Amino acid sequence: MRTAFVIILMLFIAILLLYCSDKASQPTNLPEPGSVLPDSTYVMITPAWTEADGIAFDRPSDVKIGYDRFLYVADKNNDRVVKLTLAGEFVESYQISNPTQVTQDRALDLLAVNDSSVVLRRSFREGGDFQVVYTAPDVPRPPPINDTAYAVLFGIAASPFPDKTYSFSNFYENEIYRFDSDDEFVAVQVPSGNAAGRVAAPVAVNSFNIGGQYYIGYTSGRSSFSVQLIEASSGRPVIPFSDSADIYLTTVSGHKDIAVDELGNIFVTMASASEVWKFSRNGQLLLKFGQDGPPEDRLDNPRGIDAYQQYIYVADTDNDRVVRFEVSTSPQQ
């Protein structure tokens, strides 16, 4: 009896001490969107992926992580879109002529553009290969480009919400358009211009769900470099459109694609520099990677890019491969 009394007393004292002690403080210094540790970098995971289904990649031009958590590769010169697991295992492929960019909507339909300036869709419900759903009208090209063989449509992005709308960029008309789920024109989503919320010579367009909000990100410019991230509903820029943002200061040309991670950091493939550049959501340049390491690990004309958790997937076009980078916070030697 005495033993039971002692045990009860000890339990009572422990509960009393726990109640009277200070509660553990909740973290108040959570990382702000766009933050990065000073010594963080991205390390290439080897080996790179050089083939799928026994066929070597031939100028892969885009990568996209779908809502089904598979990776889709626009394998341009092989006339196919390849479906891989995030670990690089081949699942299946779909025939399509010269795909340059690919995306997936929330109904799991695949959408693509190719260098013939058409939009193609592969229905998840019906299966089969891609079917042409829209052909862009011919537009005048400025000299010296006067050949209609040059593409008009450069990028495509499905809405991150179930409405199945999508956007694509018209390089020569200097606009980004929004289409509905029936592949019909809805509106000019981003008008022409060189100011906040406008676009000139759009190269790539992508869509993002950040904190439940719908954003459009795009790269633009012929001889200079510009990236904007805007609210899809209002067109309001997220990045301050000012000379204080590094994202507007560089004159490096050849940018190809844009991705945004869960913290709002912006990644851009700089094809002519053969690098990936990482910016904060305020447009400040945080780091560059892709040209460090041994020669076999260096990028060559990278184009498509996507981000998922701590990984970055890149279409390393002129190396005919898909590469992955993993974030590392180890001090760099």
Kind and range of the H or E element at 328?
strand 321-328
Strands (DSSP E) contained in 14-130 are 41-49, 51-52, 55-56, 60-65, 71-75, 80-84, 90-95, 99-104, 110-114, 118-122
What pLDDT was estimated at residue 19?
41
Kind and range of the H or E element at 15?
helix 2-20
Lowest mean pLDDT segment, chosen from 34-48, 113-127, 296-310:
34-48
Q: Please, what is the average pLDDT of the chain?
A: 82
The CATH code belonging to domain 35-328 is 2.120.10.30
What pLDDT was estimated at residue 142?
67
Q: What is the pTM of this model?
A: 0.84
pLDDT tens digits along 206-227: 998 877 888 898 888 776 667 8
What pLDDT was estimated at residue 4?
52
What pLDDT was estimated at residue 138?
82
The DSSP secondary-structure symbol of 242 reads S
| DSSP result, 100-150 | EEEEE-TT--EEEEETTSEEEEE-TTT-SS-EEEEEPPP-PPPTT---TTS
Higher pLDDT, 162 or 69: 69
Between CA 154 and CA 113 the distance in angstroms is 7
Kind and range of the H or E element at 4?
helix 2-20
By the 8 A CB rule, do 309 and 316 touch? Answer: no
